[in-house]
């Protein structure tokens, strides 16, 4: 019932970064935005920091000397479900996908600024809070009408198995429609949801997004299963299964 | 042949062996041909005329004393036969090939000649084959004769010419095949050298003569060395690229402390530009370490989404084409390539349209704009890495000039092609042509 509301205590973040100056700068940026930071420069220090008390989030640089960030992420996951954000200097898509599939919650490429850092942390913490309360948000796949939405990879697969590329906003809209399948979701609610999407500076309307999504989800003479409810909003009118 | 021959291993040894073989064959064949001269025959009437002439001439000469014999021989010389008397056997008759068949023909007509030690030989004068010969007289002197006209051989003609040509042709053929076989590894080496740099490296099998094996071995080692060198450099550059992102991240966080919004924005732009340069360099070098696997994607939606993403950020980019078109590609590489083309078009023309056009056996993705285009003479040059058309002082573009090189290598990776052309009526058309087989269409 507290879903979406900020927690009462200051969130604590464990920051694992081997570059001393970047560690200091990142810690300061987070502290200035109201977070408690426990810095660590290596894997052993991280384990110590995690034992010092409850932790709300781990910010993990994957390129630590001597340890693979991927392995470290897996090790944390085995012990705890604390949200993890990957920091990586590699723009590598494989790293990103592997990290997200291993259970990291988000990915932050270097070089990042204060605004992006805080936005991601905030988004992951909010999602984490919601998850703990409702324990509902799945990590895997959503299927409807032959289509498959892979949540960690943020990927949509067509009935024939081809990857169907969507913009970030379109993907979020689709996930929201899937989350509310069978129910009508109002335009106002969709606008509100799309505003909270981080880094979103675009100015297109929900109607444009819906019409694009319909076109991309159409299937050889078979219209997309997104129905307009006049004067109210939209609904996905096919059964949705999760795995 | 039960004898096991050691094949000579060196180039020189092999050429010697080939020469030796051809000489042996030549020798054998010509000996055979010489032998065959004894099988030549003449027409029956000629053999008969020769036999009669010899019998008469011998008889007349034998009746005369030796002193008168040369004169008589002159008289016996006709338009057909030249006759001479000689006290001893002329030396030339020992060496010419014998004519067994003609001898038998003559004997058939005049068996009396059997006691005269008749010798018949074939000689050639210019292009004519002539018969020379001798018979002994009772007092052991000799009657020497030669035909003055070409004898009409029964089997003279194309077959004999062919017979003479055959060994030569065979020799040319044999030595050609052998030399070709010997140099075959050389050709493979040349092909491998041509292939180098266009894909994975492949060792050439070390075969053939010793010298060639050494060259091939050296080539293989050189190939591996170059590959390692490139890999090391790429890795080093990639590491530098990655490492630069950490100080860049520090700089960006520090820049957030700048209170003057203009200065902050300017610093932010610089950082963005540096990051873009690092990214493009890493993409060009393949330094991100991603070997993307080809994936089945909806190419039409991919293009549409690039246009949508750009449109969402306030740029005038449209998509024109079918709603769906599935194809197997490396999507990240292709997206980066298309984004480079769109960025270029938006920078120089302010707008563009991404068109997906299925053509026969391929699909074309065209990024078309209404901008100034590129001078015809620069169309090829601009695809080279680090080439930029705006000169350094008036430069207002971001990056190293790697954008189009990245597009070209992305197209190449798909087995396709990248082409730039000025459009009729102004503007540039950048086309990525991807092959598709019937199965994926």
Residue B301 has pLDDT above 60, yes or no: yes
Residues of A in contact with B331 (CB under 8 A): 163, 165
Q: What sign results for the dihedral spanned by CA atoms A6, A10, A16, A19?
A: positive
Let me know: does A18 contact A53? Beta carbons within 8 Å: no
Query: Do B19 and B51 belong to one domain?
Result: no
Query: Do B170 and B299 belong to one domain?
Result: no
Cβ-Cβ pairs closer than 8 A, A with B, add up to 116
Identify the three-state secondary structure at position B311. Answer: helix
Query: Do B65 and B172 belong to one domain?
Result: no
pLDDT digits (tens, 9 = 90+) for B234-264: 888 888 888 888 899 999 999 988 889 999 9
Residues of B in contact with A167 (CB under 8 A): 305, 308-309, 312
How many domains does one find in chain B?
A: 3
Contact: A91, B288; criterion CB under 8 Å: yes
Query: Do B174 and B73 belong to one domain?
Result: no
Long-range contacts of the stretch B179-185 (C-beta < 8 A, 24+): B179/B15, B179/B18, B182/B11, B182/B14, B182/B18, B182/B208, B182/B209, B183/B208, B183/B212, B184/B208, B185/B212, B185/B213, B185/B216
Average per-residue pLDDT for chain B: 81
Identify the three-state secondary structure at position A108. Answer: strand
The DSSP line for B8-53 is P-SHHHHHHHHHHHHHHHHHHHHHHHHHHGGG--B-HHHHHHHHHH
In a domain, B369, yes or no: yes
From the list B243, B309, B331, the residue facing A163 with the nearest CB is B331
A113 min Cα distance to partner chain B (Å): 5
Q: What is the pLDDT of residue B51?
A: 85
Query: Do B340 and B422 belong to one domain?
Result: yes
Name the token pair of B109. 């007509």
Q: What is the pLDDT of residue A148?
A: 92
Name the token pair of B216. 């091939």
Let me know: does B9 contact B209? Beta carbons within 8 Å: yes
- Nearest residue to B194 (alpha-carbon basis) of B215, B223, B217: B223
Q: What's the rounded mean pLDDT across residues B51-76?
A: 85
CB count in 10 Å sphere of residue A63: 20
In a domain, B52, yes or no: yes
Q: Which domain holds residue B404?
A: 292-435
Task: Quote the pTM value.
Answer: 0.64
pLDDT digits (tens, 9 = 90+) for A38-75: 999 988 899 999 998 889 999 998 877 777 777 888 88
Query: Do B35 and B60 belong to one domain?
Result: no
Name the token pair of B218. 């050296």
Residues of B in contact with A62 (CB under 8 A): none
Residues above pLDDT 90, as percent of chain B: 20
pLDDT digits (tens, 9 = 90+) for B384-396: 887 777 655 445 5
What is this model's ipTM? 0.76
User: Which residue is closest to A216 within chain B, CA to CA?
Assistant: B301
d(CA B44, CA B32) in angstroms, rounded, equals 26
- Nearest residue to B208 (alpha-carbon basis) of B193, B187, B192, B223: B187
Let me know: does B429 contact B366? Beta carbons within 8 Å: yes
Contact: B298, A162; criterion CB under 8 Å: yes
B383 min Cα distance to partner chain A (Å): 24
> Testing the interface with B: which of A89, A118, A161 to mutate, by most B Cβ within 10 A?
A89
Let me know: does B51 contact B116? Beta carbons within 8 Å: no
In a domain, B201, yes or no: no
pLDDT digits (tens, 9 = 90+) for B95-113: 566 677 778 888 888 888 8
Q: Are strands A240-242 and A141-144 parallel, antiparallel or unpaired?
A: antiparallel
Query: Do B354 and B420 belong to one domain?
Result: yes
Q: What's the rounded mean pLDDT across residues B49-59?
A: 86
Q: Which residues in chain A land under pLDDT 70?
A: 1-8, 91-95, 128-139, 194-204, 220-221
B→A contacts (Cβ < 8 Å), by residue, are 242-243, 245-246, 248-256, 268, 271, 275, 279, 282, 288-290, 292, 295-298, 301-302, 304-305, 308-309, 311-314, 323-324, 326, 331-332, 335
In a domain, B410, yes or no: yes
Which residues are CB-contacts of B2 (< 8 A; sequence separation ≥ 6)?
Answer: none
Rounded-to-10 torsion of CA B34, B35, B36, B37: 60
Contact: A158, B302; criterion CB under 8 Å: no
With residue A36 as reference, give the H or E element that holds it.
Answer: strand A36-40
Name the token pair of A98. 């592997």
Q: What is the pLDDT of residue A135?
A: 39
pLDDT digits (tens, 9 = 90+) for A97-129: 777 777 788 888 888 989 889 988 988 888 765
Q: What is the pLDDT of residue B7?
A: 64
User: What b/e string do you get for B267-277 counting C-beta neighbours within 10 Å, with b at 16 or more?
Assistant: bbeebeebbeb
Q: What sign results for the dihedral spanned by CA atoms A91, A95, A100, A103?
A: negative
Query: Do B391 and B308 belong to one domain?
Result: yes
d(CA A183, CA A178) in angstroms, rounded, equals 10
Residue B367 has pLDDT above 90, yes or no: yes
In a domain, B161, yes or no: yes
């Amino acid at each position: 019932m507290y879903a979406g509301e900020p927690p009462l205590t200051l969130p604590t973040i464990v920051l694992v970064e081997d570059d001393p100056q970047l560690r200091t700068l990142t810690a300061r940026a987070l502290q200035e935005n109201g977070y408690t930071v426990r810095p660590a420069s290596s894997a052993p220090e991280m384990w110590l920091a995690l034992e010092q008390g409850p932790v709300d989030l781990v910010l993990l640089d994957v390129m630590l000397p001597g340890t693979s960030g991927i392995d470290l992420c897996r090790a944390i996951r085995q012990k705890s479900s604390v949200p993890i954000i990957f920091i990586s200097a590699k723009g590598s898509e494989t790293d990103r996908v592997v990290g997200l599939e291993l259970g990291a919650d988000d990915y932050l490429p270097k070089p990042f600024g204060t605004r992006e850092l805080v936005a991601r942390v905030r988004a992951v913490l909010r999602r984490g809070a919601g998850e703990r309360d409702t324990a509902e948000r799945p990590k895997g796949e959503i299927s409807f009408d032959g289509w498959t939405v892979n949540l960690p990879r943020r990927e949509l697969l067509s009935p024939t198995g081809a990857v169907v590329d969507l913009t970030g906003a379109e993907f979020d809209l689709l996930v929201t429609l899937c989350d509310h399948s069978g129910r009508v979701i109002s335009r106002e609610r969709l606008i509100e949801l799309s505003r909270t999407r981080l880094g979103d500076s675009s100015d297109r309307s929900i109607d444009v997004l819906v019409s694009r999504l319909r076109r991309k989800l159409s299937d050889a003479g078979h219209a997309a299963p997104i129905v307009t409810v006049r004067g109210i909003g939209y609904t996905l009118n096919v059964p949705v299964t999760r795995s | 042949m039960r004898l096991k021959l050691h094949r000579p291993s060196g180039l020189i040894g092999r050429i010697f062996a080939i020469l030796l073989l051809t000489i042996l064959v030549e020798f054998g064949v010509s000996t055979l041909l010489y032998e065959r001269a004894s099988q030549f025959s003449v027409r029956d009437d000629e053999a008969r005329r020769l036999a009669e002439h010899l019998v008469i001439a011998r008889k007349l000469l034998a009746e005369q004393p030796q002193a008168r014999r040369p004169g008589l021989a002159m008289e016996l010389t006709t338009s057909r036969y030249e006759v001479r008397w000689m006290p001893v056997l002329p030396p030339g008759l020992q060496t010419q090939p014998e004519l067994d068949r003609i001898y038998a023909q003559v004997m058939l007509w005049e068996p009396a000649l059997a006691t005269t030690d008749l010798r018949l030989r074939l000689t050639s004068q210019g292009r004519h084959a002539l018969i020379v010969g001798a018979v002994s007289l009772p007092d052991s002197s000799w009657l020497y004769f030669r035909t003055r006209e070409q004898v009409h051989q029964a089997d003279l003609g194309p077959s004999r010419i062919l017979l003479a040509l055959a060994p030569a042709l065979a020799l040319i053929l044999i030595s050609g095949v052998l030399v070709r076989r010997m140099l075959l590894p050389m050709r493979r080496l040349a092909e491998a050298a041509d292939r180098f740099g266009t894909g994975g490296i492949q060792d050439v099998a070390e075969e053939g003569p010793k010298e060639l094996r050494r060259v091939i071995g050296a080539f293989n080692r050189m190939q591996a060395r170059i590959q390692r060198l490139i890999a090391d450099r790429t890795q080093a550059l990639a590491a530098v690229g990655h490492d630069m992102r950490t100080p860049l991240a520090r700089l960006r966080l520090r820049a957030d402390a700048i209170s003057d919004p203009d200065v902050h924005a300017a610093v932010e732009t610089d950082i963005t530009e540096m990051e873009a340069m690092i990214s493009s360099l890493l993409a060009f070098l393949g330094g991100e370490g991603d070997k993307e696997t080809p994936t089945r994607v909806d190419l039409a939606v991919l293009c549409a989404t690039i246009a949508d993403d750009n449109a969402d950020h306030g740029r005038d980019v449209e998509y024109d084409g079918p709603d769906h078109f599935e194809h197997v590609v490396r999507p990240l590489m292709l997206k980066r390539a298309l984004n480079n083309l769109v960025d270029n078009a938006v920078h120089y023309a302010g707008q563009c349209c991404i068109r997906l056009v299925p053509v026969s056996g391929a699909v074309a993705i065209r990024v078309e704009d209404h901008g100034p285009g590129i001078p015809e003479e620069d169309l090829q040059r601009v695809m080279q890495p680090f080439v930029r058309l705006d000169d350094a002082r008036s430069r207002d573009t971001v990056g190293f000039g790697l954008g189009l090189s990245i597009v070209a290598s992305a197209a190449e990776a798909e087995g396709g092609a990248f082409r730039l052309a000025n459009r009729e009526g102004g503007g540039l058309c950048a086309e990525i042509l991807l092959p598709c087989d019937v199965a994926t269409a």
